[in-house]
Amino acid sequence: MKTFESCFGKLAYESMAHVFHFKCEQGMELSISNYGATITALRIPDREGKLIDIVAGFDNLKDYQNSDFYFGASIGRYANRIANGSFTIDGKTYQLEKNEKRTQLHGGEDGFHRKLWDATLFKNPDNTILKLQYLSPDQEAGFPGNLKATITFTIWDTNSFAIDYEAETDQATHVNFSNHSYFNLSGFTEDAGSHELAVDAFGYLELNSNQLPTGKMIETPGTVFDFYKLTLLSERNIPNNYPLDYCFVIDKTDSSKDPDAILYHPKTGIKLRIFTTQPGIQVYSSNFLDGSMTGHQGVSYQKHSAICLETQHFPDSPNQPEFPSTLLLPGEKYHQQTRYFFETN
Ligand code: BGC
């Protein structure tokens, strides 16, 4: 694997953001910045061997600083929404910073996606590792506890990579990390509807009008949200009449080695298989993209032009006692992993 580093741009206090580039033997090219622990570019060969840009991203730091779309970013401390931007632990209520009218979304205005992470590179015989670390101080965005966060990207020459999310705290707190890459396996020549999607999920979480879970899971078998088999999204009229922005409940009872999600583009032949330890996956058909941002190769990212597959714990878990817990206590280690495998067929 070939690896090189380039400067991305200067932040406040003269600190410099970098991008780490990985060129794999089987063709994958992955770029990751320590600004926001962000996947800034991902290229995969199509059937003809031509490299296709399959994630939304920018070539310069300024555009990331000016964008509210979280392109490729690591999300923390808490992915998705927390009702009223608040939760209670041991009788003490914490008011988080809100960045939506009634909720906190993706860790607040200045969440992990806007932090500069310390980067260390390890070159091993079998893989290359980029370890990114950030110490989130007590009360940052309102969250309790000093939180030591580590996000590790492990990259293999076989067109695959893993993201490991780890954290430790010195006070009880809630954590839920994710990655917010916008995938388009046609290279943004066709929209989300031209993709085939499979999600190994038996249900999705019902939402209220503030896009918060009601606590109820709706079963998917036999409905338009049944993605047990690879399904062409346009055939389901998704994303036109059913824009996707739901947390699917991954079938963890399924002991098969099948992926938790698959995204495929019939024209380029590029297939992404995702495996995760997380209980949920937020499938989001980029409903809020509006063409206002132009990225790699002059592409202007339009509504429904990509699909995000954000593996994570369930939204608003701190306020939903029935959901799997996101509480992290001192002395405990938070660890989640998501693996991404690409092939072309
Ligand atoms: C959420 C959307 C939100 C978007 C912002 C997604 O993860 O599910 O509701 O608008 O992120 O980019």
CATH number at residue 323: 2.70.98.10
pLDDT for position 12: 79
Whether the CB of 35 sits within 6 Å of ligand 1 = no
Catalytic positions, written as ranges = 180, 310
Kind and range of the H or E element at 246?
strand 245-250
Residue 136 · residue 96 · CB < 8 Å: no
**b/e 235-272 (16+ beta carbons within 10 angstroms → b):** ebebbeeebbbbbbbbbeeeeeeebbbbbbbeebbbbb
The predicted structure's pLDDT at residue 343: 98
* pLDDT value, residue 257: 82
Domain that holds residue 109: 2-344
Q: Which of 64, 75, 80, 293 to mutate to test the pocket of ligand 1 (most atoms within 8 A of CB)?
A: 80
Each residue of 314-330: pLDDT tens digit? 999 999 999 999 999 99
Residue 284 CA, ligand 1 centroid: distance in Å? 7
Residues of the chain where predicted confidence (pLDDT) is lower than 50? none
- What pLDDT, on a 0 to 100 scale, did the predictor assign at position 254? 72
Q: Which tokens go with 217?
A: 């899971």
- Which residues 6+ apart lie within 8 Å of 177 measured at CB? 74, 75, 76, 77, 79, 112, 149, 151, 165, 167, 312, 334, 336
From 67, 105, 309, mutation site for ligand 1 pocket: most ligand atoms within 8 A of C-beta? 105
DSSP element (H, E) containing 63: helix 61-66
For the Cβ of 182 lying below 6 angstroms from any atom of ligand 1, the answer is: no
pLDDT value of position 250:
96
Ligand 1 neighbour 211 (Cβ under 6 A): yes
Give the pLDDT score at 66: 95
Looking at residue 55, its pLDDT comes to 98
> What is the number of alpha carbons within 13 Å of residue 326 lying toward its C-beta?
27
Q: Which residues of 119-136 are buried (b: 16+ CB within 10 A; e: fewer)?
A: beeeeeeebbebbbbbeb
- In this prediction, residue 13 carries a pLDDT of 72
Q: List alpha helices for 100-236, DSSP H.
A: none
In short, whether 245's Cβ falls inside 6 Å of ligand 1 is: yes
Give backbone dihedrals phi and psi of 208, rounded to 5 degrees, phi first.
Answer: -95, -175
What's the pLDDT score for residue 240? 87
- Regarding the beta carbon of 69 and ligand 1, being less than 6 Å apart is answered yes
Per-residue confidence (pLDDT) for residue 288, from 0 to 100: 95
Which of 54, 240, 76, 207 lies closest to 147, judged by CA? 76
Instruction: Say how many domains are in the chain.
Output: 1
